[in-house]
A and B are shown apart, each in its own frame.
Chain A
Amino acid sequence: MIKLQDIRDTARDMLTKGEVRAVIGWQAGSRGMEAEPVTITDAAQAGNLVWDPTCYHNLSLYLVNDKKAQAHAKQKPVLPIAIIAKGCDARSTVVLLQENYFKRDEIYIIGVSCEGSGVVDKKKLATALNGVQPTAAAFDGDDYVVTLPDGSEKRLPAREVMANRCLECREPFPKEHNIVLGENKTGRGYAEPFAELAAAEAKSGADRWDYWERQFDRCIRCFACRSVCPMCFCDECVVDSIELKVAPATTAEEKATRTRWIERSNTRADNFVYHMTRAMHLAGRCIDCGECERVCPVNIPLRLLNNKLERESREAFGYEPGASIGAPSLVASFLDEDPGSWIR
């Protein structure tokens, strides 16, 4: 089991010795149980770092945001930035490295192994506690211990309230790391990867169509799924047309006919195009951190869409996203034995 003090000491040492310019981790939130992402630049802040079952955020998003900020400021920092990375965070970092979003020596990975514990699913926890909202949550072996508002503690087996993404975790150990804390426990054995997807696919085509129509009707297009995704790093997303520069000579016709792939309206058709576009753009890149599904305010099961394409890329091309920095990306490579004769 990881000792929180080890995480804090590691961060403090690195900042004190000037080995990194910042450490991306988690700190206690102001609103109750949940931790929140934080980027610390001062060794004195290392004592604020936390590690608990609410550290669900995939922090590689902040590596992307940091890179964007550096590019915007036209800066090229000398020191790397450190990230505290769970197994899934490390895999998405590897995808970003594969895609040359940043270079390996620009980042420093402090791996934290999830071992048997994973992270909590807030909705499952609310159900398990009959709506009582805990004030804190902690790991204890394969259990979570939550503190209730009256100060009492309640122990729950982690697997009962764990996020589905963690039940189906591909690899809880952050293989790619500079240093790593926690045990190398590969595989959790609670549920097969793609178990939820298989269950969803067992329904008839007509039922699935009805199901997704209803799900897309419910989408409010808050774009939290896109915003939280480390792979959704495009400067201009297909849903925002912000890049049309209007000069005095730009005609009304040009403004009116600029390409708008997806309307602002959250109609079923436009929502469908948005989610399908996002799913396709994540094929062979999504490593199932499940953040899109966690943040959806209306509980649309977005992992199913991304899992579908992840499994397709495994089955059709033997491709495993986030496995190796040296591996080419799925859509930028081919093998002679790839299915489909058109490639030859």
Chain B
Amino acid sequence: MLQYLLKRLLLFVPMLFVISFIAFGLNQCTPGDPVEAALEGTGVMPSAYPREYKQKAAALELDKPSFYFSLTAVAYPDTLYKIIPQRHRETATALIAQFGNWPEISGYLQQIAVFKTKLDGLRRNPETKDQFNLAMYATERLPQTHQPASIQAGFDSIGLALALKPALQQKMSPEFETLKQAYRQISSRQTRGKLYIPTIHGYGFQNRYHNWLIGMLKGDFGTSLKDGRKVSSKIKEAVNWTLSLSITAILLAYLLSVPIGVYSAVYQGSKAERVVSIFLFGLDSMPNFWMASLLIIFFTTPEYGMDFFRVLGPASLPADAGFWERFFSAFTAMILPVFCLAYGALAYISRQVRASMITALKQDYIRTARAKGLTARQVVWKHAFRNALFPLITMFASVFPAALAGSVIIEHIFNIPGMGQLMIKSIQGDDWPVIYTVLMLASLLTMIGILVADLLYHVADPRVDLNNKNRK
């Protein structure tokens, strides 16, 4: 058994690796600039923006390569990741994808920077203020676009600004000509062939994936992009809610479904049993978010005179609130969500218990027990139920992950600050450090749930060979 446990735990490692690839890969494919998202609404002055951007990007390790190696075309330089901000990098990538000549493109981008610095030196001249602003605006836009039409439009407006003021024209004209020349060279010296020759760049261990993984292993999950809090503290708060929700729901479901399942098997075929069975089947197919919406409509609004629960989610209590006050606040907040999570599990488990009890009651030993003269209660609970226990245990492997998954939407609806709500909020805000961690943690919890069920399977019936079991 210990050997089996170790083997299964070892198998966790490659699985978690794959999941980390999936999570990281999803992040890499997500469009949008995380630094801009993080700086949004922080009130950074426009003049300080480039510096702040650089610092933030460095803090988020965005100036590092993303993986140990990359498979790209020869046309792309291996230092492409060093270009920040992201918009400039995207422009460079798009230009390379069209023309394939990095030296010329890099020359063009550098020329823009040179032109901008020179132009910046003329900032103080009050006489040419308007024209300066126009030219500056166009210059700043240049590295953000790869479309020939908008680049040409940028050149046109710089040219116009320069032509209006001879003072500007005189100073900037040579640089402007070089800039235009640099751009023309990109299209005149295309090396598109380079786009089709693959190459592998190695980056070593100084990459984002490696650092993130090492951090994870050390228990450092990073900081949230949105509020700068530690991901671990955010998740610690959330996981309490989620676990207490789903574990209460599962316990409740198990407690109720055993008698329901057993009695509906014993009284199989009676009218009452039929009604119960149909009802359970209906419950099983009932989407929990629909049930939740209906409950909210009828039980939380005064519209129908049944507003037993006035607030959704835990009420914000003063800091000095006593234990019981806190307890009741959490308790009332959890009644409806626990019900929504429990009824589906209840229906599912009772149906399974019923099925396995029906099989057990047909066995020969039940007839023997009856013939011996045992009471009905003894036959049902001691002889049949013990043998029908089996699926109850294995079901845990599917019930637990399902409750975790189900709580995502239920938490969202009932405004419970658990993992599900955290996840939805993070996804809406592109807060990837949180998304990674929740995804990994939820997967780990699910794997542990499945493992526990497998072990219980063995404990309940030692005849089951763990290593050769064909899990269904």
Q: Do A and B come from one complex?
A: no
Residues of B that sit less than 8 Å from A by CB: none
Residues of A that sit less than 8 Å from B by CB: none
